[in-house]
Structure 1
């Protein structure tokens, strides 16, 4: 592993050799792991859907559907890739403000979709830091940069740095780190619990990742049109006051997460102290635009009692 560990005072793990100093993250299924709101997935026009809700203390308070079935994640791959990049940062392999991607861009720019790279092409559409251009190409260049810095293929690095410590044995990140991940709800609730109570990263690093980078930038939110501002942290979309949006009208502005074009999403709402994961096998479209906010509002209402 390149570098010497760093930064925010948290423990540094050795990913490449030397063992793993962080205990595997565990989640506990509540004896009352049934939330009526999750049954709304049965009304979705999809062949298969699975969902779960996990609290910040790691207790799963509700599940529905085939939670052990693997689903393509599409862009829900990005938060996992971003978390691996943040592990590399804490280990000293990379710096957030070191050059990466197109000229003038940094690791931070790539994570926050402000590198200027186009959506799905490795070409520059704007100077870094001037526009929020959601970019698969940016995450692919991020993966290449981490692989070069760590001397480990990115998918393997992510496995060692994130998936294995979290016990996500049914998850793989082969292919593009922007969109080619495969996982299960059972695995993703482990990641959702980690986001709420970090063990792999210093909590201050996670807080920084959920804080708006380059505030005020407008941009397109795929499927929902232009948002002003279109706020993102380091690999995670931040809800703020966006409308329309894939979360609910009752979701707090602090809600963060990601959705994918394969009909998948993961959100964390710090105001309600819980996270929700839903995976399907039907592509995102009008059905999701209509169904997901209603579903999320029902989940939030049930959590609030």
Structure 2
């Protein structure tokens, strides 16, 4: 738990938001290392302060659960992210967009479903929704830009249902919620839960908002959850996937696919996961998570995989919560109680790898090779000008690029009579600049340096 002074500063920020934005009730929590280090609540639900067990509707955070189900299907070989959705949901008029484009909101599909305002009305079955779609449902060329699409996630929910032969919410419960212990995350509310309200813009009075089963559109925002459950989900997004998803698959979901503001790149999307960049007392953060909005409710979940910190909040109001509450809470925590660096400790390495460390040259450009845990390698330019990548050890004695320019490319250590060199997809790194003893492609001028 945080110190008393930190807790007071955090509660002060939450209290100011609830009072100034006139929110019936709000809850918030901060997460470190998978644990709740602070919980705060303001306002009332049924005459009592909300607790960590009080349900709120989480809106589009629902999409992150659907996205994880899609990635589980991908990892099982049941689909490919480049598949057109029509391959798995036949008869879809917009079936040429890919699964990856739907996940990243780059499909170009319309944001909302045909008919009445879906968020305030009962939903229709998937067959009826699909039949109502047509060529006009495509607003942009697929892949051209980020265009948020609730319809796209309705199609993904139907894809999951068809692949699992059960409703998407049943698959989510069995394969995600139960294994993670999130038993208070449900498609419809259960007591105790907050009632969703609209707050009058010019008077301190409330209007209850409707709540329905949204049928095929439910995959875009149906779920309800609690603070305790969302703490677990925040840790999941940050990397603690348990047995639900491979960590490298989650890392793939957090990779930027499209950005919302290309000139600044502060917001964007990966595969079903929202991304945000923020700089504060904790330094530069790249947050992963999702926000949620439904009539009567607002919610946000963010995790910083780099330091294992996360934040979440939920409120029962249609609008009004100002932007920045989440990052303000993170900043207060970082300013008052910055995390301690992990202790350094030596680790044994193989002599053959140790001999590879130190300077290498790509032509005349100096690089340095360092060892990483589990026989990994890091190749970085000495003068910060050049291509840096990390490499993971493979079973065949090669290394696979994990990030940077060489992501997906293979590094080989080549030992020959003339010496040792590194080969990265035909690029040769030598111990001396253009070492003539090594077979540098194109040869080396016989007169040497002069």
Number of equivalenced pairs: 262
What are structure 1's unaligned runs of at least 5 residues?
Answer: 1-29, 221-225, 242-246
Is this contact kept in 1: 2:112–2:150, CA < 8 A?
yes
Q: TM-score, normalised by structure 1?
A: 0.76
> Relative to 1, partners in 2 of residues 1:192 and 1:47: Cα closer, same or farther, differing over 3 Å?
same
What are structure 2's unaligned runs of at least 5 residues?
Answer: 42-50, 87-93, 114-132, 189-213, 340-450
Structure 1 or 2: larger strand share?
2
Alignment of 1:72-87 (within 5 A): 72-87=57-72
The match for 1:231 among 268, 271, 281 is: 268
Structure 1 distance, partners of 2:329, 2:337, is 12
The match for 1:108 among 88, 100, 112 is: 100
Highest Rg: 1 or 2?
2
> Relative to 1, partners in 2 of residues 1:227 and 1:135: Cα closer, same or farther, differing over 3 Å?
farther
Is this contact kept in 2: 1:68–1:185, CA < 8 A?
yes
Is this contact kept in 1: 2:67–2:103, CA < 8 A?
yes
> Relative to 1, partners in 2 of residues 1:166 and 1:105: Cα closer, same or farther, differing over 3 Å?
same
Higher relative contact order (CA 8 A, sep 6+): 1
The match for 2:235 among 193, 197, 208 is: 193
Is this contact kept in 2: 1:249–1:293, CA < 8 A?
no
TM-fit CA distance, 1:201: 1.0
CA RMSD between the two structures: 2.8
> Relative to 1, partners in 2 of residues 1:230 and 1:254: Cα closer, same or farther, differing over 3 Å?
closer
Alignment of 1:16-165 (within 5 A): 35-39=7-11, 40-43=13-16, 44=18, 45-55=22-32, 57-65=33-41, 66-100=51-85, 102-121=94-113, 122=133, 123-165=137-179
Q: Which moved more, 1:119-128 or 1:156-165?
A: 119-128
Structure 2 distance, partners of 1:52, 1:182, is 17
> Relative to 1, partners in 2 of residues 1:301 and 1:258: Cα closer, same or farther, differing over 3 Å?
farther
> Relative to 1, partners in 2 of residues 1:132 and 1:192: Cα closer, same or farther, differing over 3 Å?
same
> Relative to 1, partners in 2 of residues 1:78 and 1:303: Cα closer, same or farther, differing over 3 Å?
farther
Counterpart for residue 172 of structure 1: 186
Is this contact kept in 1: 2:290–2:302, CA < 8 A?
yes
Structure 2 distance, partners of 1:228, 1:268, is 18
Is this contact kept in 1: 2:62–2:219, CA < 8 A?
yes
Q: Which moved more, 1:170-179 or 1:261-270?
A: 170-179
Structure 1 distance, partners of 2:170, 2:23, is 32
Structure 2 distance, partners of 1:167, 1:202, is 18
CA deviation vs aligned residue, 1:63-82 (integer Å, no higher than 9, x gap): 12321100011112221221
Counterpart for residue 255 of structure 2: 211
Is this contact kept in 2: 1:67–1:185, CA < 8 A?
yes
Q: TM-score, normalised by structure 2?
A: 0.53
Structure 1 distance, partners of 2:109, 2:261, is 13
SS at match of 1:252: strand
TM-fit CA distance, 1:126: 1.2
CA deviation vs aligned residue, 1:221-257 (integer Å, no higher than 9, x gap): xxxxx9767521011111137xxxxx97967342111
Structure 2 distance, partners of 1:301, 1:210, is 26
Structure 1 distance, partners of 2:283, 2:175, is 30
Q: Is 1:182–2:224 an aligned residue pair?
A: yes
